[in-house]
Amino acid sequence: MALLVNPSDSGPYVLLSNIYASKGLWADVQKLRLGMDYAGTVKEPGYSWIEVTKEVHTFIARGTEHPHAESIYAVLDELTSLLKDFGYLPDTSELPLLGDNG
């Protein structure tokens, strides 16, 4: 089992947890989370970046560290609202379910 090869690697835990969650096996998701805690495994947050006018802007999943985070999230909220007004329904079935840091 991949979890036994390198218990400090969060990848297999996250993938298996997402599989369990997609099948509604919440007790198994909880067992994996406890296993991660026991092994001292930490899921690192997701990162993304974009270059705008020769300046690189880095973002951490659900982060608020960017100096313009408040206005960025306000624009995203407005765009999401407009999309929903036109009938857009986000498909959240594939969103990661393990951890709070993406």
| Contact (CB, 8 A) for 32 and 25 | no
Question: Residue 2: pLDDT above 60?
Answer: no
Question: Residue 54: pLDDT above 90?
Answer: yes
Report d(CA 35, CA 98) in Å as an integer: 12
Q: How large is the average pLDDT for residues 89-98?
A: 67
pTM of the model: 0.53
- Domain layout of the chain by residue ranges: 1-43, 45-88
**Residues 12-51 pLDDT 10s:** 888 888 889 888 899 999 998 898 888 888 888 888 999 9
Report d(CA 26, CA 18) in Å as an integer: 10
pLDDT at 98: 47
**Residues 59-79 pLDDT 10s:** 888 788 888 889 989 999 999
